Chain A
Amino acid sequence: MSDDALFAAVMDPANRADPYPLYARLRRRPVSPQRDGSYVVSSHAAIRSLLFDPRLSSEDLPPPRRPRTGNPLKDLILNPIKNRISATHRPLIFRDPPDHDRLRSLVMREFSIARVQALRPRIAQEVDGLIDACRARREVCLVSDLSYPLPVTVICELLGVPREDEPRFQAWATQLATAVEPDARHDDATRRQIVGAFDDIAAYMRDLIREKRRRPADDMLSGLAVPGPDGRKQMSDFDLLSTAVLLLVAGHETTVNLITNAMLTLLRHPEELERLKADPERAPRLIEEVLRYEPPVHFRTRKALGAIAVAGEMIPKGAPVVLLFAAANRDPDRFAAPDRFDPDRADIEHFGFGGGLHYCVGAPLARIEAEIALVALSRRLVAPRLVDDPPPYRPGASLRGPEQLRIGIDGIV
């Protein structure tokens, strides 16, 4: 395989279970020009440098060369929202300053410490309930039994979706997850279904926003929907809608992957699972190391607004730039023994939540969900072991995670 085809190989679902050898090859040239005109950045130093570079835009992403395969998020989430809402009301993940900063600071204000802390008991209750439901079984699928439903419940609670409507969100989330998979698998009917799901969510959210503007409660959507101190709307209806959908999409799949990847890694390192069981205070370290070792998001694409010299290469103006976070996380120039899972390493400065301006808004919540879930799983699953290793993966290369994680158990305590 030639070096300018390595990223195409990364995209190939056949390499999903272990993309790391490809990443190692890419790192030999940390800023690697690819046949499709994009530049793949894979060293820790080069990504660190580019994350803070104001010439990389998230807004003006170039059209994919091949329709619908360059960037699944853009093709299948952004476009439907964009087409159905407005080209100028993209969610903040696809915006640059100063618009990005304005939207993000509003979201961050509502994503307050108190509000996030207040979710802890609800998360713990939900985790216990989901594990209780597996009592009679000798095998669980972590994805469908826990990782998948948990974040939807949490996001609904955060946004202020009435509990009775949560099942609808569970269904939509499933369809959105299908949406982020590469298009190759979709027939026309699936595609129509995905577009329909977006329409349904948008319609539901529009109603909910109207309701929150009328009768604000103590939730995130209300906080964004009520007028600002100047009596005017803080966010337009479009911005509020795209923000709400973004939080659902970006907060769901990523958290599923974090919890699932963490449990997969612990089951592959049973001694670490035992240590966690004995000392739940190890969870924060474990989670940070999982974010380095098996991150929920492997890369993000930006565009160079000007020519950028980095790591001895020149990225030309207008080129798509793929920040391959998961490769930087295993950079031997940055981390000793990078392919070893070692929660006790002193240096875990990972890109598991990205970095710079677009650092994951939901990171604190993801950490809490993962911590509560992992501690509960370590204590309650009796003699857990992997049924398939590697497990089957969903086809997505960026939002990478197992489709199922079957765990054999002797019971639940």
Chain B
Amino acid sequence: MKPASGTAALRVVVDLNRCQGYAQCCYAAPDAFAIRGHEILFYDPAPPADRRDAIERAVQACPVRAISLQVGPDDGDAP
């Protein structure tokens, strides 16, 4: 289940070779995904932790499964 707040960092990457601009992620998580022009996807690769539910909706809603999300420890760049 969800880690306690404050310890989770969200990391998102979209495979833009797969993405076809269906914009389902934009409806699911409008603060993290946006279509610009006809089909350019802009997204926030490091959204705030409280958007987790919305981002997970976006992951599920993507028709081509192009979105990857990690809910990881907020360990900065620590090796």
Contact = CB atoms under 8 A, between A and B. Distances in A.
Interface of A: 105, 108, 113, 116-117, 281, 284-285, 287-288, 347-349, 353, 355, 359, 363-364, 367
B9 interface: no
Interface stretch (B24-32, B43-51, B69-77): B24-32
The A contact surface, by secondary structure, is helix
A353 B64 CA distance: 12
A116 B60 contact: no
Contacts of B57: 284
Contacts of B38: 105
A359 B27 contact: no
Given A117-B30, A363-B24, A364-B24, A349 B61 contact: no
Contacts of A108: 23
B27 A349 contact: no
Given A355-B63, A364-B28, A367-B61, 18 more contacts: A113-B26, A116-B27, A117-B27, A117-B30, A281-B53, A284-B28, A284-B56, A284-B60, A284-B61, A285-B60, A288-B60, A288-B61, A349-B64, A349-B65, A353-B63, A363-B61, A364-B24, A367-B28
A348 B60 CA distance: 8
A113 B30 contact: yes
Contacts of A359: 22, 63
B51 to A, nearest CB: 13
- Measured as residues with beta carbon below 8 angstroms from the partner, the interface class of chain B is 10 to 19
B48 to A, nearest CB: 17
Nearest to B26: A113
Nearest to B57: A284
Contacts of A347: 65
Contacts of B56: 281, 284
Nearest to B18: A349
A116 B28 CA distance: 10
28 contacts: A105-B38, A108-B23, A113-B26, A113-B27, A116-B27, A117-B27, A117-B30, A281-B53, A281-B56, A284-B56, A284-B57, A284-B60, A285-B60, A287-B60, A347-B65, A349-B64, A353-B63, A355-B63, A359-B22, A359-B63, A363-B24, A363-B61, A364-B24, A364-B27, A364-B28, A367-B27, A367-B28, A367-B61
A363 B25 CA distance: 11
Nearest to B2: A281
Contacts of B53: 281
A288 B63 CA distance: 10
A287 B64 CA distance: 16
A285 B65 CA distance: 13
A179 B14 CA distance: 42
A353 B30 CA distance: 20
A231 to B, nearest CB: 24
Nearest to B33: A113
Contacts of A367: 27-28, 61
